[in-house]
Structure formats: C-alpha cells, structure tokens
Amino acid sequence: MRLIILTVFLSSFLLFQVQPLIGKYILPWFGGIPAVWTACMLFFQATLLAGYAYAHFIVNRFNISKQVFIHAFALIVTFIWLPMAPPDWVKPDDASWPVMRVLLVLLVSVGGPFLLVSATAPLLQSWFSQAFPGRSPYRLYALSNTGSLLGLFAYPFVIERLLTLSAQTWVWSAAYLLFAFICISTGWRVWRRVESANGESGEVSGAGKQNSDEGPASSAGSKVLVVDVFFWLALSACGSVMLLATTNQLCQNVASVPFLWVVPLGLYLVTFILCFEGDGWYRRGLFGMLWPAALAAAIWLDLGAFVSVSLQAQIAMYCFVLFVCCMVCHGELARLRPNPDRLTLFFFVMSVGGLLGGIFVTLIAPLVFNLFYEFYIGLIGSGVALIAVLRRGHWQTLNGVALKRSIAGTVLTAFAMIALVFGASWIKTQMISQAEEVIAVHRDFYGIVKVVRQEGFEAGDTLLAFTNGNTTHGFQFESEEKRTEPVCYYERSSGVGKAIEYHPRQRKGEALRVGLIGLGVGTLAAYAKEGDEYEFYEINPEVERIAREHFTYLKDAEQRGAKITVNLGDARLALERRLELGEPDRYDVLVVDAFNSDTVPVHLLTEEAFVLYQRYLKADGILAIHISNRYLDLVPVVRSSLAGIKIDAVQILHVSTDLDILPKDTPIESHWILATGDRKFLTQAEIVRAHSPWDDSKETIRWTDQYSSLFRALRVTQ
C-alpha cells in the first residue's frame, strides 16, 4: 500500500512540475503573455483526458497482469521524449494560429510522459480497489491532488530559484525515470497480491470488489445512470470554466502580478483535496448559502470601477468566488462518485468535462465575446448545477404536471440569475459609456484591446486612448495641430525622446534607422522625418490594425516621407532570424518597449537578449529600454545585462505634468534606461541634466535564458 501511495504522489507531483516548467520554456516563443498559460492548460486538460481514457480502456479490457504489462511497456516507450525539452524546429515563424502552435509544441515536447503520469492516478486507484477490496480508493485521489498542489507551488518558490532551465529538464527527466521504475514495481506487487488473493493467475478484471465505505453513491451498486454521467460532465465543466475564467480575469483584467495565475489553480486543487479526502468538508447547506454571496461578490466586482474596490480586495473576492463555486462543483461530484468498478469511467467523464470547459474558455469565448463573460457563465452554471442536483431526488418522486412545473421553476430560477448578472453588466456598460466613449473593442488570444475617447487638459481637447487589459499603451490627440505630438511615456522630454532627438546623426540632419520592439499606437513614429526608417516588432496583429485604423502616427510619418515597417511575431525570434541572414549593425536607435504591461517577457531582458541587441546597434547606436512597471523593479536586471555587453548607461525618470489625461489627475511617469558605446552622447549637457543617479545599494539581478526568477525583482511595497 505504501508503494501505491508513493507512486500516486510522485506522479501527481511530476504532473504539476512539468506544467510550469514547459510553460516557461515556450513562453518566449509566444511573446511572454498570460494567454500562453491558458493555452497550455487546454493541452494539459486534453492530455489528461487521453490519459484517463487510456486507463479506462485497459482496466475494462484486460486482466490485472496484462494491465501491468501494457503500462510498463508504455512507460518504457515514453523514454524517447527524454530529456524533456522543445526542439528548435517547432519554434513559430510568425504570429498566426498561436493556440494551435502552442498545442503542437507541447505535444512534441511532453506528450507521451504527460499522458502516462496523467493516467497513473485513476489506474492505481483501480489497482488499489482490487488489491485492497472494501477500502475506499477515492482518498488516493485526494492524495494525488495534494501532490499536484505541492508540485505547483514548489516550482516558483523552490525549483525555479535553484535550478537553471536546462537543469530543470534533466532533473524532471531523471525523476520520471525513477517514477517509471517505482510504477512498474508497484504494478508487479499489485499483480502478485491480486493473484494470491484470488487463487488464480490474475484473471480478475478491473472491476474488483465493491467498497463498503463509499458514501451516498454506493447504494446504487455498479449501475451508472445517464443523469449521473450528465452531472459528472456538467459539474466538472463548470469547475474548469471557473478556474480558467478567473485566471483570465485576474491576470488580464485586474493585474498581471507575477505568479498570480498560481493562486486560482492552487485553490482549484485544494477544493478537490477537501471534497475527495472525506465527506466532512463539503456541506450542502453551508455552500448553498455561500453561493449567493459569491454571486453578489461577482456583481460587486463587475461594478468595481465605480465602487472603489482595491486591488487586494479584488483578488480576495475573485478567489472567494472561485473557491465557493469549485467547492460546490467538486463537492457534488464527490457525492455522486460511483463504486470502484466504475471509477475509471468517472474520472474519464470528469476529464471530458474539464476539457470542454477549457475549449470553451480558450477557443470559443474569445471568438464569441468581447469581454470575459465566461466567468459569469461558469458562475451561473455552477449555481444551476447545484439547484439541479438538489432537485434531482425530488424530480424522481414526481411525474406529469408536477414534474413539469418543478423543472419550469428551476429553469426560471436560472434565467433570473442570468438576468441579474447580465443586467448588472448592462448597467456597468451604460455607466462606462457615460464616462468615456468606447470606439472599438476586440478580443483574441492576446487579450482584450480597447480604444476610447477621453477629454484632454484644455477645453475642447479630446484624445484617443489604447488599452490592453488594465494597462494603457498610448494616447493621441485628435486635433490636427496636436495629433503629431508624441505623448504619454514618449514625450520629447522623456528618455526615448532624448535618445532620438539628441542622437549624433539626428543632430547633423541625417536620416535615422530605428528599431522598436512594441508597437502600441505607434507614438514613436511621431519622431520620424523624411528619409528615416522605423521598423516595429509586434506580437499581436490586432495592435497593428488598431494603430492604423484609429490612430494616425504611422500614416502621418509615411506622409512625411519616412519608411514605416511592422514585423509581426515575437521580436527576439524575428531579430535572431534576421541576424542569421547577415543583418548586424542595423539600427541607430533600438527601443525595447515591452515591459509596462506588468506581464514581463523575460526573454527580452536576459543577457543573451542584450548581446543580440548590441549586434544590431551601430557603433554610435543607442539602446533605449522602457522599464516603467508597477510590480517589478527591473533596474537591477537591466544593469546586470548591460554589464555583460560592457556599455555605459544612464537612467531618465520623467513625470509628465502638462497633460491631465489619466483618471484622478494621475501624472504619467516613465522610466527609461539609455545605453550606448558613444560616451559623447552620454556627456551632452541635455542628457546630464535629465539623468537620475543610480541606486548602487541595490544588488544586480542576473537573468539568462537558462535562469530567471521574478521574485528578486518584485517591488517591496506597492
């Protein structure tokens, strides 16, 4: 029994180690955005389903001896995936079909091992029920979720901080080999125990004997009702929707705080542990009362822009809503669990529901909705499922008109909840439309982008603002006399403004070649003059469309005679490919502007990235890095990477006070670091007056492609 416990725990621990590990590995290939994690979750859910299907198939088709042999053979076959690391040939060439590309990369990188560690928990629970008849295997499911939880939190807090990325892949691969050996040994021990107990050669199928302590669902014997299968599917789907939708709400619509995605997944696993560990944690009466409170909290959050809800309060309330809904879904699943002879079917159907929820949030919702409505759909779905489960026994006692009336009452209750939530959403929309004029809204893999019209500082002035999630990426005046003026982080007195206007070639009236990582609304094109070449790199195709259709910086620059190019795809991958074609020493100014959204693409800040930037700079070229960020202090990271390429730098902190274009008269603060091998540029009077001294009491933080940890860069206070 101890060997079974060890195997289940180790498989679950490895399961939730590989998810963040491989996610971090491929994150740079897709721009380092939070949606990559959601796409990874879809793959993991699909592979989990395949693993459960595999376990269900061999348990119901083969006797115990053949099950052990098949699983041992499959484990050995998966060694061809080791060491676990994505090959270079699966790197994306452009920004098209990002979700499908993520799924392909993961399939090639970890498909086989992940499938088998996914199958281990249900398979060993079935073996347990045969080896120890009369004892509940469902506590092993709680144990597996405990292992998953520890694996999830061990990665960012321990593994990532101690090991390089390549070392992590080797350690995981070694642990997988150990797991395979232990799993095969466990199978052999179970086979021998079952054979001995039954006095035959293991010819007992996966059904085993029924448990005597299975709780409410056991009384029905081995028969599974269609309605039970429907509830398994619906409850697991609602839980999955709530997990992914809450993660989206927190990371893209509230704040992209590093590691915030871990919290929802951790709570999700905790609810599984509590509900399947025993029958004492989930109480229908208690959570039946808490669910309306969760609904009220969700409506309150929907109106949060107008009722002054702090960031910490928003995170706490979202976690409360997620916890209550998942306790309801998983608590009812635990109550509806079947006898062990239907255990693998139960987990298979649960995984189908989880996958359906993942498909809905990851693939369908972005196509159907402009906002994160799936969060409220999951919330309402969990409430409706709870009501239906509670009424299920009552409906079995009714027939005819009474049954129809009872069902109609439940349907009306569901519609009332829908009307309440979406009515609040409509009220919020009306309030927003009175506060600001929404010009365009679009949602895709990269998040929700929006263009709104705002009032400027002077009477009659209007500006267009471009936001992605909760971060503003640029403004432009609409009046003819002001629309060509760079504003926000890019004013002429800002760091990047000085980098361009005081470049030696600019001072001589010569044309500049400028590279810009991050497009925004194209504000920096305001500096482009006739003969200049400005090459932007942008991961999201929708950003280019918005910059050209709703803003005029790019068009105005082209009309002045500048050449404007937008290269779609991850900037670093694009620069690496162009370097292979022989294009070094290309730019007079290289602007790296990809860090103010709080979702930091780490691969653009590593030492290897800065070596790449240096190769693109001319001898007197200037590297301008924008590091304005609410949650991370990136100065120690940038200084370390600059030390690696041995060029001097200054920092310029600029506060814009002449434009009142943010809520509550908040000034726009920009933080730029300018680095160059040209000492004359750094000693110009204008640069000397503008720069701020370094805080040498801070230790530098070294990031490489093999090692980076956001913890050390977190700001102490917010």
Q: Which residues contact 268 (CB under 8 A, 6 or more apart)?
A: 239, 243, 322, 326
Supply the pLDDT for residue 174: 94
Distance CA 517, CA 538 (A): 7
Answer yes or no: do 162 and 254 share one domain. Answer: no
pLDDT tens-digit map of 454-491:
776 666 678 898 987 667 788 898 888 888 999 888 99
Instruction: Kindly report the length of the chain.
Output: 718
Nearest-angstrom CA–CA distance, 339 and 103: 35
Cα 252 to Cα 394, 445, 446, 504: the distances in Å are: 42, 11, 9, 41
SS3 call for 462? strand
| 3-state SS, residue 486 | coil
Confidence at residue 216, expressed as pLDDT on a 0 to 100 scale? 43
| Boundary of a domain, candidates 209, 239, 266 | 209
Residue 151 CA: distances (Å) to CA of 37, 100, 141:
16, 27, 15
Residue 448 falls within a domain, yes or no?
A: no
Are 278 and 183 found together in one domain?
Answer: no
Q: Would the pLDDT of 134 be above 80?
A: no
**Same domain flag for 586 and 481:** yes
pLDDT of residue 666: 46
* Percent of the chain whose pLDDT exceeds 70: 84
Residues 6+ apart with CB under 8 A from 559: none
Specify the CATH number for the domain of residue 333: 1.20.1250
Q: What is the pLDDT of residues 260-288, one digit of tens each?
A: 678 888 899 899 888 887 667 888 888 88
Cβ pair 14, 150 in contact under 8 A: no
Cα separation, 671 vs 630, whole angstroms: 11
Asked whether the CA dihedral 545, 550, 554, 559 is positive or negative, the reply is positive
Considering the domain architecture, whether residues 344 and 466 belong to the same structural domain is answered as no
- What is the rounded distance in angstroms from the CA atom of residue 336 to the CA atom of residue 220? 11
Same domain? For 184 and 333 the reply is no
Burial zone of 397 (CB within 10 Å; 0-12 exposed, 13-18 middle, 19+ buried)? exposed
Instruction: Write out the two tokens for 390.
Output: 């509670």
Helix (H, G, I), strand (E, B) or coil at 605: coil
Let me know if residue 450 belongs to a domain: no
Please indicate, yes or no, if residue 718 is contained in any of the structural domains.
no
Q: Which residue has the higher pLDDT, 449 or 181?
A: 181
Q: Which residue has the tokens 């939708």?
A: 245
pLDDT over threshold 70, residue 395:
no
Q: Which residue has the higher pLDDT, 301 or 551?
A: 551
Tens digits of residue pLDDT in 9-52? 899 899 888 878 887 778 777 766 666 777 788 888 889 889 98
β partners of residue 625 = 592, 673
Q: Phi-psi category of 69—alpha, beta or left, where left has phi over 0 and alpha has psi -120 to 50?
A: alpha
Q: Of 402, 435, 468, which residue sits at a domain end?
A: 435
pLDDT of amino acid 306: 43
Q: Do 275 and 167 belong to one domain?
A: no
Identify any residues that bridge with 590 across adjacent strands, giving them in sequence order: 515, 623
Q: 454-463: b or e for each residue (b if 16 or more CB lie within 10 Å)?
A: bebeeeebeb
Mean pLDDT of 227-240: 90
* Residue 514 bridge partners (DSSP): 534, 589
First vs last C-alpha separation in the chain: 49
Residues 164 and 236 grouped into a single domain: no
Domain match, 204 and 260 both: no
Least confident of 532-541, 576-585, 586-595: 576-585
Please answer whether residues 179 and 13 qualify as being in contact, where contact means their C-beta atoms are separated by less than 8 angstroms.
Answer: no
Average pLDDT over residues 181-198: 87
Residue 591 has pLDDT above 90, yes or no: yes
Residues 170 and 252 in one domain: no
pLDDT classification of 420: cutoffs 50, 70, 90:
low
Q: Is it the case that residue 575 has pLDDT exceeding 50?
A: yes
Q: Residue 213: pLDDT band by 50, 70, 90 thresholds?
A: very low
Give Cα 656 distance to the centre of its chain.
33
Q: What pLDDT is stored for residue 325 in this prediction?
A: 93
pLDDT at 311: 66
Token couple for 652: 């310029």
CATH of residue 533: 3.40.50.150
Distance from C-alpha of 430 to C-alpha of 591, rounded to nearest angstrom: 39
| Three-class HEC string of 514-570 | EEEECCCCCHHHHHCCCCCEEEEEECCHHHHHHHHHCCCHHHHHHHCCCEEEEEECC
Q: Within a domain: residue 686?
A: yes
- pLDDT score of 371: 76
What torsion do the CA atoms of 400, 403, 406, 410 make, to the nearest 10 degrees?
-120
d(CA 16, CA 273): 15
Tell me how many domains the chain contains: 3
Residues 270 and 204 in one domain: no
| CATH number of the domain where residue 37 is located | 1.20.1250.20
Kindly report the number of other CB atoms within 10 A of residue 154's CB atom.
15
Asked if 31 contacts 595 with a C-beta cutoff of 8 angstroms, the reply is no
Residue 13: domain span? 1-209
Which of 165, 193, 209 is at the close of a domain?
209
Question: What would the pLDDT profile of 679-696 be if each residue is shown by its tens digit?
Answer: 899 999 999 998 889 988
Which band of pLDDT confidence, cut at 50, 70 and 90, is reported for residue 242?
A: very high
Residues of the chain above pLDDT 90, percent: 30
- pLDDT category at 205 given cuts 50, 70, 90 is very low
Res 667 pLDDT > 60:
no
Tell me the CA distances in angstroms from 451 to 438, 480, 660, one per residue in order. 6, 19, 18
- pLDDT tens digits, one per residue of 146-175: 888 888 888 878 888 888 888 999 999 999
In this predicted structure, what is the pLDDT of residue 593?
Answer: 92
User: Which has the higher per-residue pLDDT, 667 or 291?
Assistant: 291
The model's pLDDT over 43-75, given as tens digits with 9 standing for 90+, comes to 888 898 899 899 989 988 898 899 999 999 999
Give domain status of residue 331, yes or no. Answer: yes
Token pair belonging to 591: 């602007």
Band the pLDDT of 116: cuts 50, 70, 90. very high
- For the segment 540-544, the average pLDDT, to the nearest whole number, is 90
What pLDDT, on a 0 to 100 scale, did the predictor assign at position 459? 62
User: Average pLDDT of 389-404?
Assistant: 68
Look at residue 621 in the predicted model and tell me its pLDDT.
93
- Does some domain include residue 563? yes
pLDDT at 502: 93
Phi, psi of 463 (to 5 degrees): -130, 150
For residues 118 and 53, is the Cβ–Cβ distance under 8 A? Answer: no
Buried b (16+ CB within 10 A) or exposed e, 194-216: bbeeeeeebebbbbbeebeebee
Q: Which amino acid is present at 31? A: G
Q: Residue 575 is encoded by which pair of tokens?
A: 């620069």
Residue 196 is predicted with a pLDDT of: 81
pLDDT in tens, 321-360: 999 999 999 999 988 888 877 888 888 899 999 999 989 9
Check whether 176 has a pLDDT greater than 90: yes
User: pLDDT at position 338, please?
Assistant: 85
Enter the pTM of the model.
Answer: 0.77
Q: What is the β-pairing status of strands 462-468 and 447-455? A: antiparallel
Structure tokens at 672: 């730029």
Which of residues 420 and 158 earns the better pLDDT score? 158
Q: With contact defined as beta carbons under 8 Å apart, do 647 and 508 qualify?
A: no
| Residue linked to tokens 């060993």 | 124
Q: Is residue 308 part of a domain?
A: yes
Q: Please tell me the distance from the alpha carbon of residue 572 to that of residue 578, in angstroms, as a whole number.
A: 10
3-class state of residue 656 by DSSP? strand
- What rounded mean pLDDT belongs to the chain? 82
Residue 209's pLDDT is what?
A: 42
Q: Residue 99 is which amino acid?
A: V
pLDDT band at 497 (very low <50, low <70, confident <90, very high): very high
Task: Judge whether 170 lies within some domain.
Answer: yes
User: Cis bond leading into 83, ω under 30°?
Assistant: yes
Residues ≥6 apart with Cβ < 8 Å to 39: 98, 99, 102, 103, 362, 445
pLDDT at residue 430 in the model: 59
Q: What is the DSSP string of 573-601?
A: HHHHHHHHTS--S-EEEEEE---TTS---
List pLDDT tens digits, range 287-331: 888 988 998 888 887 765 444 556 677 888 899 999 999 999 999
> Is the dihedral angle over the CA atoms 242, 248, 250, 254 positive or is it negative?
negative
Could you write out the three-class secondary structure of 92-151?
CCCCCCHHHHHHHHHHHHHHHHHHHHHHHHHHHHHHHHHHCCCCCCHHHHHHHHHHHHHH
Let me know whether 57 and 198 are in one domain.
yes
How far is Cα 121 from Cα 116, in angstroms, rounded to an integer?
10
Q: Are residues 92 and 167 in the same domain?
A: yes
Q: What is the CA radius of gyration of the chain?
A: 29
